[in-house]
Amino acid sequence: MKRLTILAALAALVAGPAGAQNAGQISMVARGASCPRCNLFQADLTGVELRGLNLSRARLRQATLTASVMNRVRFDGADLRDVDAAAAVFSGSSFVSADLTNGNFVGSYLQGANLRGATLTGAVFAGAEMDRAIGLTQPQLSQACGDLSTRLPRGLTIPAC
C-alpha cells in the first residue's frame, strides 16, 4: 500500500508542473472575458482579437500572443516573461509595472501603450512601432534590444540585438 501511494505521488508530479495553466481561465479570456490575476501560463492566444480586457496581475508567462490584436488591454503588474508577442497589436494597452523579461515583440505595434515601470530586460523589439508609447525610459530600453527599424519616442535609443 505504501508503495502504491509513492507511485501515485510520483505520477502526479510527472503529470503536470506546479503552477500549470488553468484551461478554464484561458478559454474565458479567448472568448473575450476579463480575468485579472488569472493563470494563463503557456496560453496559446495566437491571432485572437481582444479589446478592453483587464488582465492585470495575470500570469502570462511563456504565452503565445503572436499576431493577436489586444487593444486597450490592461496588463498592469502581469507576468509576461518569455511571452511570444511577435507581430501583435497593443494600441493603448497598459503594461504598467509588468514583467516583459525576455519577451519577443518583434514587429509588434505598441503605439499609445503605457510601459511605465515595466521590466524590459532581454525583451526584443526589432521592428516594433513604439514611438508613441508612453512611460518609456532610457534605462528600461538599455536592458532590451531592437534594430534600425524599431521606432522609439524621440530622444530614446535601444541597443542592437
* pLDDT tens profile 48-82: 999 999 999 999 999 999 999 999 999 999 999 99
Residue 26 located in a structural domain: no
Weakest-pLDDT range from 7-11, 50-54, 73-77, 151-155 = 7-11
Residue 19 located in a structural domain: no
- Look up cell 528600461; give the residue: 140
At 44, which CATH number? 2.160.20.80
CA–CA dist 3, 116 (Å, integer): 53
Buried b (16+ CB within 10 A) or exposed e, 60-78: bbbbbbbbbbbbebbbbbb
CA–CA dist 96, 114 (Å, integer): 6
Give the list of residues 6+ apart from residue 159 with CB closer than 8 angstroms, or none: 141, 142, 144, 145, 146
pLDDT tens-digit map of 91-113: 999 999 999 999 999 999 999 99
Residue 142 located in a structural domain: yes
Nearest to 111 by CA among 98, 95, 129: 129
pLDDT at 132 over 80: yes
The number of distinct structural domains making up the chain is 1
Mean pLDDT of 126-134: 98
CA–CA dist 24, 50 (Å, integer): 17
Residue 124 located in a structural domain: yes
Please answer whether residues 87 and 110 qualify as being in contact, where contact means their C-beta atoms are separated by less than 8 angstroms: no
Grid coordinates of 47: 491571432
Cα Rg of the chain, angstroms: 18
**CA-based end-to-end distance of the chain:** 56
Residue 92 located in a structural domain: yes
Residue 161 located in a structural domain: no
Residue 30 located in a structural domain: no
- Which structural domain, as residue segments, surrounds residue 53? 36-154
